[in-house]
């Protein structure tokens, strides 16, 4: 949710151009409002409005803003409606200071009341504005930015990061308190951002910032201090080798389609990203645990659901998959030393998951993680993490990272089964070889077999405001994921559920022509004939993703059979998500929806 980018330079006085080039790469974090502030001739210039980055940037001519330092903010609205007034950055009362934040200030309302009572002009209903007044309050007394920020932060409660600047110096100050923040050191300029893609056009020299730290940027130096006591922190930058081309569309009309196709390579890079001895340590912790919980949200949760089936079948380990926001109320009092929590997160910033980590830390529970964004909050909080190595995933709907999560679970479950001696070594080796060497080509084949069918199905599906995606056994998580993709990018209520449950109520919705998508694992084809027959005799139009099977052919027209190439049964759930991703993508574009930026959504949800 929300993205901030701030820069100070001694090389440029047309900083608007740089703000636009860099901040545009944070679009996936929020597109309710956009704003840029620059300092030019000791005066703060502010332009902001409601809307997506490219539209607002053109309308307000943000790239023409002059100055050599500035802050940009892209907002995903929580406190305060998406409007020009609530757009960030915000000015203090006298227009000496300007700040923008990412995250939530939970005591925003009492502080707003207090500051207003003290005489501050609080203009908006957005919690980000409170940051600038909190600093102004102390700056007016102390005349020192560092001290004012330290004291201001004491007043703010919540998880956030912000950048702030004064009109009279060449510095930018930034704080990390629970939301992501990275700093970059370029030649004659330094910057901070919520995420790496926006820093790479400036520099590859990166400093990870930790919670509780204040960063003081001048054009040539970066100083890090602890907010609690002002102590200097020594930290060396590292050189990022992230591929910046990944953050460009590369000829595809949308990032979502590009990232669907990238699954061919991202399932390969996964295996070069994960390394011994960390894999062995990870597996060792899982198989020696008292209980194992997989904790995640959204698509990552669906990958975890598939993963829990792998662990049952391949390693005979009972894994409990839990939605991040549900964990504390469902299992929080019951977890104890000896249990292992595996957090699964693309961003490594999801607040519902981070809350679980903090809760479990107090109970001596080991925290393992599977994360795509390196340097994210979860990488710092985990005892051990495995990276997904998927590169940047820009499109808001997760595709390639979901597939890599499921692939990694298959791999870890096979290793765990081998280690526990419940899976023969030769069988484990076969499964691992399939993952490492055959999966990419099978993904490629699945994409090419199903693209035209997915496009052709869109006009029919678009006539429905709701339908079902049903899975069974190991494809249950796949059905949940397919339904989420359709909801998210097509604005259609697709309900993903366990297919044996369908007869316990939802069956009543079926009438002539009603679409029902089944995702069927090869070994369940015969068993699922019952479920197919129940809806077929009531007139449903059955759509299937699965391997070819004569029994299935009786219930589905050729055009509605999204074929998965023959493979070992554990690859099938990985491949089955792909036709569903394609269906969602083509249905979205048929409905003229931009699948990369579906309304109301942000890719990184740092709020509870
Ligand atoms: C859906 C989607 C979201 C995320 C969820 C968790 O396409 O992308 O449901 O999966 O917000 O995000 P991470 O994996 O970053 O924790």
Give the CA-trace dihedral at 447, 452, 453, 458, to 10 degrees. Answer: 110
What distance in Å separates the CA atoms of residue 466 and residue 491, rounded to the nearest whole number? Answer: 9
Angstrom CA distances, 564 to 262, 422, 544, stand at 18, 28, 10
What distance in Å separates the CA atoms of residue 403 and residue 405, rounded to the nearest whole number? Answer: 5
pLDDT of residue 100: 98
C-alpha of residue 279 to centroid of ligand 1, in Å:
24
Is the CB of residue 68 below 6 angstroms from any atom belonging to ligand 1? no
**Domains in the chain, ordered, with CATH?**
3-242 (3.60.20.10), 248-423 (3.40.50.10490), 451-594 (3.40.50.10490)
pLDDT of residue 462: 98
Angstrom CA distances, 17 to 167, 182, 201, 219, stand at 19, 21, 12, 17
Pocket mutation for ligand 1, best pick of 195, 295, 296, 298 (most atoms within 8 Å of C-beta): 298
Ligand 1 closest atom vs CA 301: 10
C-alpha of residue 103 to centroid of ligand 1, in Å:
17
Is the CB of residue 23 below 6 angstroms from any atom belonging to ligand 1? no
In the numeric block, which tokens belong to residue 269? 């890079």
Pairing of strands 69-75, 33-40: antiparallel
pLDDT of residue 31: 87
C-alpha of residue 59 to centroid of ligand 1, in Å:
31
Nearest CA to ligand 1 atom 9: 298
Contact assessment for residue 568 and residue 64, using Cβ atoms and an 8 Å cutoff: no
C-alpha of residue 167 to centroid of ligand 1, in Å:
38
C-alpha of residue 453 to centroid of ligand 1, in Å:
27
Pocket mutation for ligand 1, best pick of 304, 346, 392, 395 (most atoms within 8 Å of C-beta): 346
Mean pLDDT per 10-residue run, the chain (608 residues)?
94 96 92 96 97 95 98 92 96 97 94 96 95 97 96 95 97 94 97 94 95 97 97 95 77 95 96 96 98 98 98 98 98 97 96 96 96 91 97 95 98 98 97 97 97 98 98 98 98 98 97 98 93 97 97 96 96 97 98 94 77
C-alpha of residue 292 to centroid of ligand 1, in Å:
21
Is the CB of residue 152 below 6 angstroms from any atom belonging to ligand 1? no
Is the CB of residue 350 below 6 angstroms from any atom belonging to ligand 1? yes
Angstrom CA distances, 297 to 209, 327, 352, 484, stand at 25, 11, 8, 12
Pocket mutation for ligand 1, best pick of 300, 307, 327 (most atoms within 8 Å of C-beta): 300
Bridge-partner residues for 187, per DSSP? Answer: none
Pocket mutation for ligand 1, best pick of 254, 297, 595, 604 (most atoms within 8 Å of C-beta): 297
Closest by CA position to 72, among listed 52, 92, 94, 99 = 99
pLDDT tens sequence across 51-72: 999 999 999 999 999 999 999 9
C-alpha of residue 296 to centroid of ligand 1, in Å:
8
Residue 600 burial (CB count, 10 A): 11
pLDDT tens sequence across 498-512: 999 999 999 999 999
CB contact set of 195 (below 8 Å; sequence gap of 6+): 3, 25, 26, 29, 180, 182, 373, 604
Is the CB of residue 607 below 6 angstroms from any atom belonging to ligand 1? no
Residue 462: burial class (beta carbons within 10 Å; 0-12, 13-18, 19+):
middle
Nearest CA to ligand 1 atom 16: 345
Ligand 1 closest atom vs CA 299: 10
Is the CB of residue 346 below 6 angstroms from any atom belonging to ligand 1? yes
Is the CB of residue 547 below 6 angstroms from any atom belonging to ligand 1? no
Is the CB of residue 532 below 6 angstroms from any atom belonging to ligand 1? no
Is the CB of residue 130 below 6 angstroms from any atom belonging to ligand 1? no
Is the CB of residue 299 below 6 angstroms from any atom belonging to ligand 1? yes
Active site residues: 2, 603
Is the CB of residue 163 below 6 angstroms from any atom belonging to ligand 1? no
pLDDT of residue 607: 73
In the numeric block, which tokens belong to residue 96? 């000496």
Nearest CA to ligand 1 atom 3: 298
Residue 467: burial class (beta carbons within 10 Å; 0-12, 13-18, 19+):
buried
Is the CB of residue 390 below 6 angstroms from any atom belonging to ligand 1? no
pLDDT of residue 605: 79
pLDDT of residue 573: 95
Ligand 1 closest atom vs CA 605: 11
C-alpha of residue 294 to centroid of ligand 1, in Å:
15
C-alpha of residue 301 to centroid of ligand 1, in Å:
8
Peptide linkage before 89 cis (omega within 30 of 0): yes
Nearest CA to ligand 1 atom 1: 397
Nearest CA to ligand 1 atom 7: 397
Helix/strand/coil for 351 = helix
C-alpha of residue 347 to centroid of ligand 1, in Å:
8
Angstrom CA distances, 487 to 411, 584, 601, stand at 30, 8, 12
C-alpha of residue 415 to centroid of ligand 1, in Å:
26
Which 8-state DSSP code applies to residue 383? S
Peptide linkage before 506 cis (omega within 30 of 0): no
Is the CB of residue 398 below 6 angstroms from any atom belonging to ligand 1? yes
In the numeric block, which tokens belong to residue 41? 């001739």
Contact assessment for residue 317 and residue 283, using Cβ atoms and an 8 Å cutoff: no
Residue 326 burial (CB count, 10 A): 15
Is the CB of residue 295 below 6 angstroms from any atom belonging to ligand 1? no
């Amino acid at each position: 949710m929300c993205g901030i980018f701030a820069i100070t330079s001694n090389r440029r006085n047309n900083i608007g151009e740089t703000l636009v080039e860099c901040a545009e790469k944070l679009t996936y974090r929020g597109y309710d409002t956009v704003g840029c502030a620059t300092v030019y001739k000791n005066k703060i210039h502010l332009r902001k409005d409601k809307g997506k980055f490219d539209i607002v940037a053109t309308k307000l001519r943000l790239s023409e803003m002059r100055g050599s330092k500035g802050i940009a903010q892209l907002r995903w609205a929580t406190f305060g409606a998406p409007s020009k007034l609530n757009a960030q950055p915000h000015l203090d009362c006298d227009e000496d200071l300007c700040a923008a934040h990412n995250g939530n200030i939970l005591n925003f309302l009492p502080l707003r009341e207090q500051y207003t009572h003290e005489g501050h002009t609080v203009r908006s209903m957005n919690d980000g504005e409170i940051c600038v007044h909190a600093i102004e309050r102390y700056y007016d007394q102390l005349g020192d930015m560092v001290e004012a920020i330290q004291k201001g932060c004491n007043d703010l409660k919540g998880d956030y990061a912000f950048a702030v600047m004064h009109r009279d110096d060449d510095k930018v100050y930034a704080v990390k308190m629970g939301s992501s923040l990275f700093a970059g050191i370029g030649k004659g300029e330094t910057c901070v951002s919520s995420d790496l893609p926006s820093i790479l056009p400036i520099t590859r020299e990166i400093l990870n910032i930790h919670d509780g730290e204040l960063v003081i940027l001048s054009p040539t130096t970066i100083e890090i201090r602890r907010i609690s006591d002002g102590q200097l922190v020594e930290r060396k930058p590292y050189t990022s080798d992230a591929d910046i081309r990944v953050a460009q569309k590369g000829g595809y009309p949308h990032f979502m389609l590009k990232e669907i196709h990238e699954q061919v390579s991202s399932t390969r890079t996964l295996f070069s990203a994960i390394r011994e001895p960390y894999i062995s340590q990870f597996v060792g912790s899982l198989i020696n645990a008292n209980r194992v919980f997989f904790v995640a949200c959204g698509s990552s949760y669906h990958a975890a659901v598939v993963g829990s089936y792998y662990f049952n079948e391949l390693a005979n380990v009972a894994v409990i998959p839990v939605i991040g926001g549900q964990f504390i109320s469902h299992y929080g009092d019951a977890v104890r030393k000896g249990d292992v929590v595996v957090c699964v997160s693309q961003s490594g910033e999801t607040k519902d998951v981070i809350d679980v980590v903090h809760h479990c830390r107090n109970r001596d529970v080991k925290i393992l993680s599977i994360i795509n964004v390196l340097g994210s909050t979860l990488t710092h909080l985990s005892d051990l993490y495995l990276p997904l190595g998927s590169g940047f995933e820009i499109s808001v709907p997760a595709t390639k990272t979901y597939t890599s999560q499921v692939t990694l679970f298959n791999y870890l479950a096979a290793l765990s089964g081998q280690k526990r001696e419940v899976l023969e070594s030769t069988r484990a080796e076969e499964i691992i070889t399939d993952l490492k060497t055959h999966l990419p080509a099978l993904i490629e084949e699945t994409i090419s077999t199903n693209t035209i069918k997915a496009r052709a199905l869109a006009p029919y599906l678009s006539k429905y405001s709701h339908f079902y995606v049903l899975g069974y056994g190991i494809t249950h998580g796949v059905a949940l994921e397919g339904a989420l993709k359709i909801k998210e990018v097509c604005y259609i209520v697709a309900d993903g559920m366990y297919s044996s449950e369908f007869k316990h109520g939802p069956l009543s919705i079926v009438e002539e022509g009603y679409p029902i998508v089944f995702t069927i694992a090869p070994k369940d084809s015969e068993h699922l004939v019952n479920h197919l027959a129940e809806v077929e005799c009531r007139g449903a139009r059955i759509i299937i993703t699965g391997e070819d099977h004569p029994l299935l052919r009786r219930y589905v027209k050729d055009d509605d059979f999204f074929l998965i190439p023959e493979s070992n049964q554990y690859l099938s759930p990985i491949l089955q998500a792909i036709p569903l991703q394609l269906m969602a993508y083509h249905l979205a574009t048929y409905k003229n929806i931009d699948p990369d930026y579906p309304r109301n959504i942000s890719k990184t949800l740092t709020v509870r």
